[in-house]
Amino acid sequence: MGKRFLLYIVSAFIMFFPAKMVIADADITPPEVDGSKLTKVMPEGKDSLAPGDAATLSVKITDESELRFASLYYRNKDNGKDRNILLAKKEGTEDIWEATFEVDEQTAPGMWQIFYILTKDIYDNEAYLYNSCMINMTPSYDMTAVDIIVAGTSLDNTPPVIDPDSLMATLPEGRDFAVSAGGAKISVAISDEGVGISQADAIYIQPISGEELHLQLNYQEESQKWEKEISLNGTNEFGTWKLYKIEARDKAGNRTEITNSELDPESTADLSAGSFFVRCTVAFQTSGGSSIDPQYVVSGGNAVKPENPTMGDGAWQGGGDFVGWYADEAFAQEFNFNLCKRGFSILLGWR
């Protein structure tokens, strides 16, 4: 009767939620940017922006799942300055995303044009829409409707300064490595003597796939540094996460970057202080027995099989005798202590 009841529950769940389950498992479709819905709202009575002015920009973006972020990349036609503007979903709408182009005394004067629009969803499907008036790439759309003219400002030509000597990767207290059930924090001092910094990013090279991971840093008043907490879990790659590049851009569009000399032969910057090593976490669930400390193992290395847990005040949760360690809740797959490739939470078995 118990098994039959469970079967009915599973069947009912599949009947009522099939579409959602399929989308969650199979969304490989990138977001879609509708260039025809790209609009600009200028201050009343103005066809150019002066210090203190702002234009509101909006665009329609649709996706099968959910957008992680969207941004407009503007470039100044007259002097090459650039500005990356993050979009946010417009309140009360399903698929309209908007942002503001703000102007202050240090914003570069001249014609600002969108170079491309970049979007990415929660499954890392990304899509670009390029301005056909600026670059011959597809997909593209004529975006002259959102060109912005800036006038009446002075020009800040000085890029931000990144201090590599201040760079630090902070690991859990007492360890010289990060773990799959924890994380690390990168911090670096970046200064700007002009209008101030608008964005800073760190780019890591992942140890197994070699793919880049882009992290947007946030300014912390207390430390006066740009920082980012890097959260890790059992799905992250294990090994040495090497910091490849730090980028910074100020509000006038000046940009600077430093790259790791270990990865870029043309660089002289030592960014090793921002790199860190990640180990697999092997944790033991004893289901009411004596606790066992987790182990932190190099990927592909060996964990140490612990002594059998002792029984507590009562019987094991579930009853029976201890028979071994398993990697699945069905107690069908015995855990291989000789090969760790990811973070594990190990269960004990009983009979």
CB 348 within 8 A of CB 290: no
Better pLDDT: 218 or 315: 218
Query: What is the pLDDT at residue 11?
Result: 38
Domain assignment of residue 296, given as a range: 279-351
The model's pTM is 0.53
Query: What is the pLDDT at residue 18?
Result: 45
Q: Do 298 and 242 fall within a single domain? A: no
Instruction: With H, G, I as helix, E, B as strand and everything else as coil, classify residue 323.
Output: strand
Instruction: Give the other-Cβ count within 10 Å of 251's Cβ.
Output: 20
Identify the band that residue 21 occupies on the pLDDT scale cut at 50, 70 and 90. Answer: very low
**What does the pLDDT look like over 230-285, one tens digit per residue?**
877 655 677 888 999 999 999 878 899 999 999 999 999 999 999 988 777 777 77
* 3-state helix, strand and coil shares in percent for the chain, rounded to the nearest 5: 10, 45, 45
Q: Do 219 and 165 fall within a single domain? A: yes
Better pLDDT: 277 or 114: 114
Instruction: Give the other-Cβ count within 10 Å of 45's Cβ.
Output: 5
In which residue are the tokens 């970057």 written? Answer: 257
Pick the range with the lowest mean pLDDT from 34-38, 245-249, 310-314: 310-314
Better pLDDT: 279 or 25: 279
Please state, in angstroms and rounded to a whole number, the distance separating the CA atoms of residues 204 and 237. 12
Six token digits for residue 288: 């009411």
Pick the range with the lowest mean pLDDT from 123-132, 207-216, 258-267, 320-329: 320-329
The residue out of 127, 150, 173 marking a domain boundary is 150
Q: Does residue 21 lie within any of the structural domains?
A: no
CB 82 within 8 A of CB 118: no
Q: Does residue 309 lie within any of the structural domains?
A: yes
Q: Do 286 and 304 fall within a single domain? A: yes
Better pLDDT: 196 or 293: 196
Instruction: Give the other-Cβ count within 10 Å of 72's Cβ.
Output: 22
The CA distances from residue 135 to 8, 132, 150, 319, 342, in Å, are 57, 6, 22, 69, 43
Better pLDDT: 80 or 76: 76
| Longest Cα separation, the chain | 82
Q: Do 264 and 290 fall within a single domain? A: no
Domain CATH number, residue 218: 2.60.40.10
Q: Do 209 and 95 fall within a single domain? A: no
The residue out of 225, 241, 274 marking a domain boundary is 274
Identify the band that residue 130 occupies on the pLDDT scale cut at 50, 70 and 90. Answer: very high
Q: Do 63 and 133 fall within a single domain? A: yes
**What does the pLDDT look like over 154-201, one tens digit per residue?**
777 789 999 999 999 988 766 767 665 567 889 999 999 888 999 999
Q: Do 325 and 261 fall within a single domain? A: no
